[in-house]
Structure 1
Amino acid sequence: MKRLALVFCVLVVLAAVAGTGAFLWAEGQVQTAMAPPGAATVEFTVPKGTSGRGLGTLLASQGLIRDARIWRWHLYRRGSFAPKAGRHEVSPSMTVAELATALESNPIPEDIPFVVVEGWRLRDTDAALAAANLITPGAYIAAASKPGNFTAPFPLPVSGTLEGYLYPETYGVVPGKLDVNALIQRQLNAFAERFFLPNKDAITKSGRSLHEVVVMASMLEREEPVPDQRPLVAGILWKRVDKGFPLGVDATSRYELAQWNDRVAFLKRLRDPQDPYNTRHRKGLPPSPIGAPTVASLQAAMSPKASDYWYYLHDAERRLHPSRNAEEHEALRRKYNVY
């Protein structure tokens, strides 16, 4: 009996020691991060309706913790845990305890889509951002007027603005936290990814500078509603530039208007030969792009289609009618009542 009692006591002591060791090991794991300090942050999403215990498997699968059992142990020791559904910025440098605290904090605000429409001017984008309460009026224009604050794999304008280089598409923005400079840099990156980098060699072979291509593309975006017909229009316009004829692109006279469709102000500018954007009177390209062109317009400006045409107009249905000489052009004007 004495021997059995001794064995029992030894087993009890060993169990206690093992239990203490397991406890200390588990606590140590809770305080040990997967990565050393300074690891990059990542986004971790807490799905709606997921239990606190259920997050352990997700955290382990994304390399944020070693073992889901350690996560469950920590929650048991913690007593209460109320994660908030949504996206959270976390890091492998966080301990299990720090991760739990982070997932109870407010999630990252959800992005909302902001659409930069094809052909929009800086002032149009600025007005739309202000109307959506994303910026104070003028903030976007002010930022885009400082090209030196941004980087790109192509030459940015040395002076003036980034008009024409800020690619038009839908961008996710966070209400109340919009960084205007960051948005503009994203637009420049999109311009590089969508057009410049895939067409770098072709731009060089075109014989035109990137800036000339962008200026022409900005006019094509406004002039021709059908993308497939823009190379033909580009061919006509480049031919007029090269031969020293005025372009006659009325959209350029609208560029500096406060409201693009202000007809009274537009007609006044059409009669002003001193307006540098009046391409009815002045030869060559306008002083700057007149809006944000898409890839279709940029490619058309870079690769124009040769033809016998020197003129074109659009009828009331916006259908294109090119002509080979002034006589044909005037006949089409009368036919479609376009003046």
Structure 2
Amino acid sequence: MKKLLIGVLVLAVLAGAAGGGVFMWAEKGTTTPKAAPGAPEVTFAVKKGTTARALGPELQSEGLIDDARLWRFHLWRRGGLALKAGRFKLSASMSIAELAKTLEGPPLPEDVPFVMIEGWRLRDTDEALAAKGLIKPGEYIAAAKRPERFKASFPLPTRSLEGYLYPETYAVVPEGFNVEAFIQRQLDTFGARFYDGHKGEISKGKRSLHDLVVMASMLEREEPKPEQRPLVAGILWKRIDKNFPLGVDATSRYELADWNDRKEFLKKLRDNTDEYNTRTRAGLPPSPIGAPTVDSLVAALRPTPSDYWYYLHDAEKKLHPSRNAEEHEALRVKYNVY
């Protein structure tokens, strides 16, 4: 009896809107999708405690159906809905009947955050993904060394995607995690955060995108304060232009298994054959040394000119630039930095 009364009320509402053709209108409305096949999917969230009837206005607001009254009619005709809370992939190219069937099915798996730290190398991200059980060790590195498998709004390097995989907190689904899809998201984020908004400026400048990424990766490690990075970038670019060794010790750590292994680091500093030793070799290192943020990328693109040629950081990581070797040496003594 209760269902019959609900049905009469629904039909009364429909009849008031559509006149004598109410049943034909309702039948067509519940079986004909709002949009043609191929309409984009949206993630539709059903909150805990929400009734099936209350979803009508929400589905209409999301552009998935034309009229919430059709949703109520369909619920009456099918005898209700075994609704589940959670997130569902829906599309306007689905009929109301298909929408209802999807909402009775299993919701999407819950996302979990994956935090990629600024400056991380491929190996660091690989280790973190493996530690969370998302990949087998080495899978991320192997995929990132095949740039030809990916697409981007910017020119990709040919050997490795080191430096182009933007560091951010990503929501990932552990079930069925796809490492290549994750890398594509990182490349898309690099484009959205930096390249797409600075494409014209980059094309007019004298530095290639790859050189900017290499420089930015060093700035990420060299200068902890983003506001100081343009000044450091100015010093380093000046050294590049004058064929003067950069002296960026972070480059000698790049190939270490443990970034903070001081013993192995000192060995690297003494190795004049190491192509990442920027104390003895002029020019940029062979590749980026980690994943830079937009602050470092913009600093590399827009360096601050100055009279400085050197810089160091004291024990509190405060930057101290100097104009010549004598001033630099005096600052070394003053702050006991060697």
User: The TM-score by the shorter chain falls in which range?
Assistant: 0.7 to 0.9
Judged with a 3 Å threshold, the aligned counterparts in structure 2 of structure 1 residues 207 and 21 are, in CA distance, closer, same or farther, namely closer
Q: Which amino acid aligns with 2:289?
A: I
Aligned residues: 319
Deviation at 1:194, TM superposition (A): 1.9
Q: Which amino acid aligns with 2:161?
A: L
Identity, % of aligned positions: 68
Distance between the aligned counterparts of 1:23 and 1:198, measured in 2?
53
Residue in 1 that maps onto 2:206 = 207
Q: Is 2:90 aligned against 1:90?
A: yes
Residue in 2 that maps onto 1:11 = none
Q: Check conservation: 1:252, 1:277, Cα contact below 8 A.
A: yes
Q: Which amino acid aligns with 1:232?
A: L
Pairs within 5 Å for 1:180-219: 180-219=179-218
Mean Cα deviation higher: 37-46 or 130-139: 37-46
**Larger-gyration structure (1/2):** 1
Q: Check conservation: 2:110, 2:173, Cα contact below 8 A.
A: yes
Unaligned stretches of 5+ in structure 1? 1-19
Q: Check conservation: 1:253, 1:277, Cα contact below 8 A.
A: yes
Distance between the aligned counterparts of 1:126 and 1:102, measured in 2?
35
Deviation at 1:185, TM superposition (A): 1.6
Q: Is 2:267 aligned against 1:268?
A: yes
1:74-116 deviations in whole A, cap 9, x for unaligned? Answer: 3333335211111111223333322221101111122222222
Residue in 2 that maps onto 1:223 = 222
Q: Which amino acid aligns with 2:333?
A: R
Unaligned stretches of 5+ in structure 2? 1-19
Residue in 2 that maps onto 1:161 = 160
Residue in 2 that maps onto 1:107 = 107
Distance between the aligned counterparts of 1:243 and 1:251, measured in 2?
21
Q: Which amino acid aligns with 1:136?
A: K
Residue in 1 that maps onto 2:328 = 329
Distance between the aligned counterparts of 1:61 and 1:219, measured in 2?
48
Distance between the aligned counterparts of 2:309 and 2:114, measured in 1?
39
Q: Secondary structure at the match of 2:299?
A: helix
Q: Is 2:129 aligned against 1:129?
A: yes
Mean Cα deviation higher: 76-85 or 32-41: 32-41
Q: Secondary structure at the match of 2:321?
A: strand
Q: Check conservation: 1:206, 1:303, Cα contact below 8 A.
A: no
Distance between the aligned counterparts of 1:306 and 1:69, measured in 2?
66
Judged with a 3 Å threshold, the aligned counterparts in structure 2 of structure 1 residues 208 and 65 are, in CA distance, closer, same or farther, namely closer
Q: Which amino acid aligns with 1:220?
A: L
Mean Cα deviation higher: 148-157 or 203-212: 203-212
Q: Which amino acid aligns with 1:205?
A: K
Q: Which amino acid aligns with 1:142?
A: A
Pairs within 5 Å for 1:130-145: 130-145=130-145
Q: Which amino acid aligns with 1:179?
A: N
Q: Check conservation: 1:31, 1:96, Cα contact below 8 A.
A: yes
TM (norm. structure 1) is 0.87
Distance between the aligned counterparts of 2:23 and 2:153, measured in 1?
56
Residue in 2 that maps onto 1:8 = none
Mean Cα deviation higher: 92-101 or 187-196: 92-101
Residue in 2 that maps onto 1:15 = none
Residue in 1 that maps onto 2:146 = 146
Deviation at 1:126, TM superposition (A): 1.1
Distance between the aligned counterparts of 1:214 and 1:36, measured in 2?
43
Distance between the aligned counterparts of 1:38 and 1:62, measured in 2?
16
Q: Secondary structure at the match of 2:44?
A: strand
Q: Is 2:117 aligned against 1:117?
A: yes
